[in-house]
Amino acid sequence: MPTCKGARLKIKRANHHIAELETCIDGLKKRLVATAHVDADSGLEYIKCEFTGIEESEVLENLAAIIGDAVHNMKCALDHVWFETVRRLIPSVNWGQGKFPAYPTEDRLEGELRNLQIDVFSPDFFRFLVGQIKPYDTGDWAIRPVHKLDIRDKHRLLIPVIHYSSISGINIEDQYGEIHKGDTFGTSQIPFYVNFVRELHVKDPGRASLAVMFQDGDAGKESRAVDTLRAYCNHIFMIVKLFEEFVE
């Protein structure tokens, strides 16, 4: 089978969205700052961590849309290579715009492939799908998650995006002039505050860090956005190449 140009173009587009996501997250990191303040009423010092000059809800919706675009192009790549493969292997059947088969269980996959008579038209292709590609929940680790994420996004329920921020390198001076160093735990609340008792003085509010995650899978598992999408995309590209090599 010649190179499936449609699938490869969709992979290229997905990588473009992942790069766009990474750029957006880098911009967010630069606008997340920790600053020292003194409460006007109590005189107590505190550190405030917040985004500067942006609306948080708008940012998260934009990130969710970019993630959805990346996922959709990965799913389209699978659909393209499926259509091109079955069209070449079994030209006697009008497959229309068939979707890549991805099901919860191996039994369900086998049943659907038998309904399409894949086992009759091309037993080798049937074995390739069931035994090597394994597009079911306990089989391939990327195809089903991409499939389910795409369904969620198409139903206009934006893939939930979560961010965790923390502060490292905080320096606090006590009443004896001794410097204490510390960090904060991660939190999804922005802005967030670190409050101190009267005897403590903030010498350095530290540096804020940010991790952007998305909810992956039915159980709401959180995955690091850029790394996970890049791993999915690389794996989907490998799947496309396996289909191309199978037909050759």
d(Cα 196, Cα 180) in Å, to the nearest integer?
Answer: 13
The number of folded domains in the chain is 1
Cα→Cα distances 201→37, 158, 174, Å? 10, 43, 6
Distance separating alpha carbons of residues 205 and 47, to the nearest angstrom: 6
Cis-peptide into 123, omega within 30 deg: no
pLDDT tens profile 78-95: 999 999 999 899 887 766
Residue type at position 11: I
* CA-based nearest residue to 67, from 78, 75, 77: 75
- What is the pTM assigned to this prediction? 0.89
Q: In which domain, by residue range, is 135 found?
A: 5-247
SS3 of residue 129 by DSSP: helix
pLDDT bucket at 155, cuts 50 / 70 / 90:
low
Burial-class residue 1 by CB neighbours within 10 Å (0-12, 13-18, 19+). middle
Average pLDDT over residues 155-172: 86
pLDDT tens digits for range 96-151: 657 899 999 999 999 999 998 999 999 999 999 999 999 999 999 999 999 999 98
Asked whether the CA dihedral 22, 24, 30, 33 is positive or negative, the reply is negative
Q: What is the pLDDT of residue 108?
A: 96
Helix (H) or strand (E) holding 8: helix 5-31
- Cβ–Cβ under 8 Å, residues 130 and 147: no
Share of the chain above pLDDT 90, in %: 75
